Amino acid sequence: MLHDWTDAEATAILRRCAAAAGPRGRVLILESLGSLEADPAMFAEMNLRMLVLSGGRERTIDDYRSLAAAAGLRVAAVHDIPARHTILECVPATADT
């Protein structure tokens, strides 16, 4: 989970993960993204908590796409799983799939 990190820190983490995964690897990000659509008030509350407690914030899928791009990755797939969690599957920005 990256929601408890600032954008700069989250980008650095993704960049390190991308380097470790290599040119053919994948980086998986697990987040609770379902609350934005299901309960905007809950999303706003968690966003405020992350800001106050750690300097982080809740993000949308588009926000994660931007972080991934800044780290040289792109979101290749988004997988929703039970309990309102989402896995964003990232690959190097130059990868075909």
Asked if residues 33 and 92 have their Cβ atoms less than 8 Å apart, the reply is no
In the annotation, is 3 catalytic? yes
Which pairing describes strands 73-81 and 85-92: parallel, antiparallel, or unpaired? antiparallel
- The single residue of 3, 36, 50, 88 carrying the catalytic annotation is 3
Give the helix/strand (H/E) hosting 85.
Answer: strand 85-92
Distance CA 39, CA 23 (A): 38
Q: Which residues are catalytic?
A: 3
